[in-house]
């Protein structure tokens, strides 16, 4: 498990932050210095209560001007209260999120930015400091409106696996069904933090189970009412990409429309109105049935079982 997250990307370093209490040098008895050189004035007892590791950090030797990398800010070196200075490997963005969580139970930070580096840093630091409130907030954000889960399902899945977020892992696995086999050729860097074979094995088992469930729907539809070539093409597509939306993709609609024209004849008026209406309704009905079948391959099935086994052995 990574304990020293990378420095947060520059675009998330806020230069014009609103005045907040931990920027006020008149308060607190300790100073947290972030890896990017910013200072946070805090009360040691409050942070030690929320973060047990913080008490251990207070016992570390104080930085001095003779060290190789001393704090250069005069506010730290010459603070009138002689505050304890704690050097950390976490970014200022991480501490800006964490400190209010330590002071204010139930506090929820602003919306989580759609930045994988930041999410990775927040989860790594929350794991290191055992700050469950931060982990819960990131998890809720990923399950909510944050677009990362849809845009980067494999990366989010790996992070969820690494930091024990089963609901996020399950939803990310579901989102990953939309990916093509080529998208799995090179796993994202987030898999470096987990037992990749175990995590990917559970994901692949889930994908196979969803493929079987989806193809069972198309097999049950072979009753003469739907064109066979449409069902055959759809079944082939679902084998390697078990995503319900495939049923109403333009490619599948074109195949179905061609079959409809062959069966009922080419009629200009029908081709303009009735046939497209029929195709839209049929493909939507198939998509709905596929969604229902795939939904059943959730808790407590493949991903959930694999994840629970993962938690038990850790």
With residue 85 as reference, give the H or E element that holds it: strand 84-87
pLDDT over 60 at 166, yes or no: yes
pLDDT, position 64? 56
For the chain, the average pLDDT equals 81
Task: Name which of 192, 202, 191, 238 is nearest 218 in CA terms.
Answer: 238
Distances in Å between the Cα of 168 and the Cα atoms of 77, 129, 154 are 43, 21, 11
For residue 289, how many other CB atoms are within 10 A of its CB? 17
Tokens encoding 192: 């470096």
**H helices of the chain, where?**
44-50, 52-58, 74-77, 92-103, 116-129, 132-143, 148-151, 153-162, 166-175, 196-220, 228-240, 250-264, 268-269, 275-295, 302-313
User: Is 95:57 a contact under the CB 8 Å cutoff?
Assistant: no
With residue 31 as reference, give the H or E element that holds it: strand 30-33
pLDDT, position 15? 36
* Beta bridge partners of residue 86, listed in sequence order: 32
Chain-centroid distance of CA 227 in Å reads 39
Domains and CATH numbers, the chain: 10-146 (3.30.710.10), 180-314 (no CATH)
pLDDT category at 20 given cuts 50, 70, 90 is confident
* Beta bridge partners of residue 30, listed in sequence order: 42, 84
103-114 pLDDT per residue, tens:
888 888 888 989
Task: Name which of 46, 213, 192, 56 is nearest 124 in CA terms.
Answer: 192
For tokens 């059943």, the residue is 296
Distances in Å between the Cα of 76 and the Cα atoms of 6, 13, 95 are 24, 20, 17
Query: pTM of whole model > 0.85?
Result: no
Q: What is the average per-residue pLDDT within 116-134? A: 94
DSSP at 43: -
Distance CA 8, CA 113 (A): 12
pLDDT, position 24? 86
pLDDT category at 90 given cuts 50, 70, 90 is very high
169-227 pLDDT per residue, tens:
989 999 999 999 899 888 898 888 777 778 888 888 899 999 999 999 998 876 667 88
Provide the residue count of the chain: 314
pLDDT, position 234? 94
- Parallel, antiparallel or unpaired: strands 30-33 and 84-87: parallel
């Amino acid at each position: 498990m990574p304990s020293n997250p990378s420095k947060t990307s520059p675009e998330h370093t806020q230069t014009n932050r609103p005045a907040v209490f931990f920027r006020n040098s008149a308060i607190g008895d300790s100073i947290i210095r972030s890896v990017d050189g910013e200072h946070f004035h805090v009360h040691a007892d409050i942070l030690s209560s929320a973060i047990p590791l913080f008490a251990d950090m207070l016992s570390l030797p104080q930085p001095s001007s003779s060290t190789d990398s001393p704090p250069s800010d005069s506010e730290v070196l010459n603070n009138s209260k002689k505050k304890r200075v704690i050097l950390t490997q976490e970014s200022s963005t991480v501490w800006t999120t964490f400190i209010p969580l330590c002071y204010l139970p139930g506090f929820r930070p602003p919306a989580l930015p759609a930045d994988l580096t930041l999410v990775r840093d927040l989860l790594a630091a929350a794991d290191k400091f055992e700050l469950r409130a931060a982990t819960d907030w990131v998890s809720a954000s990923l399950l909510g409106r944050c677009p990362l889960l849809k845009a980067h399902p494999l990366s989010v899945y790996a992070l969820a696996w690494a930091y024990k977020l089963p609901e996020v892992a399950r939803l990310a696995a579901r989102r990953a069904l939309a990916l093509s086999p080529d998208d799995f050729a090179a796993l994202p860097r987030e898999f470096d933090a987990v037992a990749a074979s175990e995590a990917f094995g559970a994901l692949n088992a889930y994908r196979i189970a969803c493929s079987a469930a989806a193809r069972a729907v198309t097999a049950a539809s072979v009753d003469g009412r739907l064109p066979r070539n449409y069902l055959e093409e759809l079944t082939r597509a679902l084998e390697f990409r078990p995503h319900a939306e495939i049923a109403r993709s333009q490619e599948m609609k074109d195949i179905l429309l061609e079959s409809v024209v062959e069966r009922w004849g080419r009629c200009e008026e029908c081709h303009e109105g009735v046939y497209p209406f029929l195709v839209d309704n049929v493909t939507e009905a198939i998509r709905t049935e596929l969604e229902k079948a795939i939904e059943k391959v959730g808790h407590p099935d493949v991903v959930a079982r694999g994840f629970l086994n993962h938690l038990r052995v850790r």
